[in-house]
Amino acid sequence: MSSTPIASKIIPKAARAHLDPANIEYTSEKQKNAVAALVEEFTVTPELLKSIQKNFMEGMKKGLKKDGETLAMISSYVVGRLDGTEVGSYLALDVGGTNLRVVSVHLNGGGEITTRQTKYRIDEKLKVGDAKSLFDFMAVCVDSFLDEHQIVVRGDAQIELGFTFSFPVLQTAINRGTLITWTKGFNASGMVGKDPVALLQDAFNRRHTPVRVAALVNDTVGTLLAYAYNHPETIMGVILGTGCNGAYIEKISNIEKWKGKTTADEMIVNMEFGAFDKERVILPLTMFDNKMDRKSVNPNKQIFEKMIAGMYLGEITRNILLNLIDRRLLFEGNVSADLNQMWTFETAYMSSIEADHSPTLHETRKILESTLSFPSTTLNDRQIVKTVVELVGKRAARLSAAALAGILEHTGAWKHKSAIGIDGSLFEYYPSFDTDIMDGLEEVFGEEVRKNVSLGLAQDGSGVGAGLCALLAAKNSATKDA
């Protein structure tokens, strides 16, 4: 088994260069009507945004009452807030995004954190193979990280590790839980109902790796903790990346289903909001969403996530483009072999197309012709592609806004100074995602929300947060098993 570290690439974020569909020189009335129909289908009006928000809040209440609801509202067993004074060194393993990351986190006090990290690519086969191989791979990566950074452990000592495992896990302790279901293209066999901590600890023990899994944490919870380390007014941690989800600080008296013991009066709740509207009553699903959902490894699940997250936006866009091609309204009815393959239209291309402000749509041309091997494209083709991309991207941001608005209203946090820490490639790189979310929040709450609520990038939140969680686990032995 090999573990290949990969280099990280930082692409500076650009602003959206909006193309008004009214300014396109359409090739036919039929093409114009097809675009108008897409605009209608993909626009989340302020009224719809507010209805989704209301429905979302009802879902939150149900999930806080009992287990097994659509919004799982999982008690994280993380209590107590950080104030940035904490010091120490912890190891974190972050699994659940595109890459696996091992991070050593050093808390220097004064809100200052330094990290060293290595990313490893998880082979697609491992994601859908057997669970033991997947967990063995995780242990190999941690082992090679310890070697690479010459982290030596003496005698019987063990390094404490925070494990960010970003899937729905019903927790029964800070370091125990059972996987409810896989998401985001993972589907390793024999895992549902099992404890990821036990599997990881077994994998370490098999290799004699001197590591103890001290805390299990969702990436949203980690992000909240990481952001709170230097923004004490943080009330929410959100991931807008490969998948999407949020965690927030809830009063324990509101978590009616909580049966555990703790002296704390609030706890971070991992909402698992990617599963929202499983019943399909409120989300404006289109045939393009349904097609993508049917072909995914988890059909009928995580519908909300599939309309928002980076793993899926490119595929929805590809489905729309294919439909226009089949109707001979784009590329003169010809498809390239690349575009004909599933998942080839990456969400990263959408970011570049959104940011393309050249009159000839030069960047869009490069993606279509050099990357997706269309022999040639016309300006009209490129304008249609850009319009489709903008519709899918903006819908995703506005749906995210509906969820955040639900949490802000439920907690009342929009009325006072509060911060939302957000991690994930979509938030980090997708042009104007933050602006679209803020605009959506303003539609719900009015201008005041801009003064009170801030959205910020919690870079590496999911990795750093796991280290912080290991620290809290050591500090708060008050969180007992349910």
Q: Does the active-site annotation cover 30?
A: no
- Dump the DSSP string for 118-135: EEEEPPHHHHTSBHHHHH
Question: Closest CB to ligand GLC among 94 and 356?
Answer: 94
Task: Tell me whether residue 318 is exposed, middle or buried, using C-beta atoms within 10 angstroms of its C-beta: 0 to 12, 13 to 18, 19 or more.
Answer: buried
Of 119, 184, 306, 386, which one is the catalytic site residue?
Answer: 184
Tokens 């659509």 label which residue? Answer: 70
Return the residues of window 55-94 that contact ligand GLC according to CB under 6 A. Answer: none
**Single residue of 69, 195, 219, 428 touching ligand GLC by CB under 6 A:** 219
Q: Which is nearer to ligand GLC, 38 or 238 (CB)?
A: 238
Find out whether 252 and 423 touch, Cβ atoms under 8 Å. Answer: no
Residue 96 binds to ligand GLC (criterion: CB under 6 A): yes
- Closest CB 261 distance from ligand GLC, rounded Å: 25
CA 59 to chain centre: 20
- Site residues for ligand GLC, 18-37, by CB under 6 A, read none
Which lies closer to ligand GLC via its Cβ, residue 76 or residue 183?
183
Q: Which of 94, 136, 195, 219 is catalytic?
A: 219
Give the contact letters, 157-196, x = binds to ligand GLC (CB under 6 A), - = no.
Answer: ---------xxx--------------xx------------
**What's the DSSP call for residue 337?**
T
Encoded tokens for 333: 């009815």
Query: What is the nearest approach in angstroms of ligand GLC to the Cβ of residue 182?
Result: 8
Tokens of 278: 């499983």
Site string for ligand GLC, 304-333 (x = CB under 6 A): -x----------------------------
Indicate the DSSP class of residue 366.
Answer: I
Q: Tokens at residue 129, please?
A: 């193979």
By CB under 6 A, tell whether 222 contacts ligand GLC. no
Place of tokens 């979310």: 437
Question: Which H or E element spans position 101?
Answer: strand 99-109
CB of 320 to ligand GLC, least distance (A): 23
Strands (E), 167-218: 169-173, 176-179, 211-217
Catalytic annotation present for 219: yes
Q: How far is the CB of 460 from ligand GLC (least distance, A)?
A: 14
Torsion of CA 290, 428, 355, 446, to 10 degrees: 80
Provide the 3-class DSSP secondary structure of residue 4: coil
DSSP code of residue 428:
H
Our CB check for ligand GLC shows the closer of 168 and 463 to be 168
CB distance 444 to 405 below 8 Å: yes
Q: Which is nearer to ligand GLC, 177 or 393 (CB)?
A: 177
Enumerate residues 234-293 that contact ligand GLC by CB under 6 A.
239, 243-245, 272, 274
Applying CB under 6 A, among 75, 76, 118, 220 the residue interacting with ligand GLC is: 220
Separation CA 17–CA 43 (nearest Å): 18
Residue 159 or 403: the one with the smaller Cβ distance to ligand GLC is: 403
Cα Rg of the chain (Å, integer):
23
Residue nearest ligand GLC, Cβ-based: 243
Residues that bind ligand GLC (CB under 6 A): 96, 166-168, 183-184, 218-220, 239, 243-245, 272, 274, 305
Q: Which residues are catalytic?
A: 184, 219
